Amino acid sequence: MKILVTGAAGFIGSHLCEKLLENDKYQVIGVDHFIGPTSFPLKNKNLKNLRNHPRFTFQQRDLYITDLNRLLADVDVVFHLAGIPGVRSSWGYDFEPYVQNNILVTQRFLEALKTTSVKKFVYASTSSIYGQKNGKVTEDMLPEPLSPYGVTKLAGEHLCRLYEKSFQIPIVILRFFTVYGPRQRSDMAFHIFIKQLLNDNPITVFGDGTQTRDFTYVEDCVNGIISVMDHDQAIGKTFNIGGLERASVNEVISLLEHLTGKKATIQYKPEVHGEPKHTYADISLAQKIIGYHPIVSLKDGLKKEIEYIREIIKEG
């Protein structure tokens, strides 16, 4: 089976490729344009375990100008993770690359899929499409994104639905809830907090720290993504991919202090536009249809991310 992973040098994408290659029946094509907040050296580091694998092929490409029909030739499954991430940086003049990479590239893929025999097109979306909700969110709740980033990912979802209905494209939509772990993007909170703490710098918190998130360890997330392949009943559906437990930002910092043995100096700053106060995933549909069951605790997941951050600090 031939599998295409876009965003293969990214945080989730690189873990996904490694996990797929554990199955001898899979050939994996990884594509990445090396854009976004993660630096070139770190993206190269993400690919370290993949580049010499006999069943992995990597292509550095801009999907906006790539011949997608040729790229999709003989591909059975597409995991479309590529795009520009980040809530805070999606405002103002920085919005244009979000439109190009999150909306237009997705539309180009869907157009190309009309003439292929791809069995599943899995679109990576985000909890940011929900906006501010109270309690657990289910997949059928009204999307009300609070940021331009969330708007672009929701637009991608709408395009998937449109092409599914009009051209029977076999789509699956996955909404990720605050994924963390080794290789987490350098602009994400855990990465920043751990690096600040290990370097004995003050930790910057936007808001009062009582905001809560449904944190999803990357290994759990990847297992959820891959499980879609074995369940044809997932086609046409949208799933929340959430974690084992929720916590507030203040609780996370306290846990990081315990795990590192360092005392944090916290600088609280005004909250930023575009971020909900709370996120809370109802994952019952994913549990029922694709057998998704997160197992990694926040404490164990943070231990692994701390080890990763220590390593990259040591390497400079």
Instruction: Give the length of the chain.
Output: 316
Q: How far is CA 55 from the centre of its chain?
A: 23
- Burial category of 270 from C-beta neighbours within 10 Å (exposed 0-12, middle 13-18, buried 19 and up): exposed
Q: Catalytic residue at 93?
A: no
Q: Of the candidates 207, 227, 220, which has an alpha carbon nearest to the alpha carbon of residue 177?
A: 220
> Which residue of the set 149, 163, 180, 280 is catalytic?
149
CB environment 196-221: b (16+ within 10 A), e (fewer): bbeeeeebebbeebebbbbbbbbbbb
CB 84 within 8 A of CB 153: no
Q: Would you please indicate which residues are annotated as catalytic (active-site) residues?
A: 149
